[in-house]
Amino acid sequence: MIHYNKLIRDNVPYIMQRQGKNMKYHEAEADEEYWMLLLRKLQEEIDEFNANQTVEIFGDVLDVLDAIVDFKKFDRKELGAIRENNRETLGGYQKGWVVEESEVEMGQSQEQGI
């Protein structure tokens, strides 16, 4: 048997069972475990997408992000409004601008909106 400790899609245990394959699994026992596994799964899917940019793998990334939205109980309308506001005030990423130097630190600053 191969040992894992990773999040799998909901139907995988049933699919394996129908195929006659043995599999030991459990439901995440606490929110902390589920959250840690979601973050790990997101990184796994992003790594896969970095290696092979297919629409199928990108769909997997979106599915994990969707699970995070549900787990964190983020309001989808609020998320949409935040994204729209960011696009209106800061723009999107379609032009491909790359900062080379700046007097302002770029990154996580919500105050500056950059």
- pLDDT-derived band of residue 105, with 50, 70 and 90 as boundaries? confident
Read off the pTM. 0.85
Q: Which residue has the higher pLDDT, 47 or 103?
A: 47
Structure-model confidence comparison of residues 105 and 8, the more confident one: 8
The per-residue pLDDT for 109 is 52
Average pLDDT, whole number, for the chain? 93
Q: Tell me what percent of the residues of the chain surpass a pLDDT of 70.
A: 94
Surface-to-core class of residue 40, CB atoms within 10 Å of its CB (0-12 exposed, 13-18 middle, 19+ buried): middle
Residues 6+ apart with CB under 8 A from 113: 89, 90
Residue 113 is predicted with a pLDDT of: 58
pLDDT digits (tens, 9 = 90+) for 10-66: 999 999 999 999 999 999 999 999 999 999 999 999 999 999 999 999 999 999 999
Residue whose C-alpha is closest to residue 16's, from 28, 31, 2, 30: 2
Tell me which DSSP letter residue 107 carries: S
Alpha-carbon distance of 7 to 38, in angstroms, equals: 7
What's residue 102's pLDDT? Answer: 87
Domain ranges of the chain: 12-90
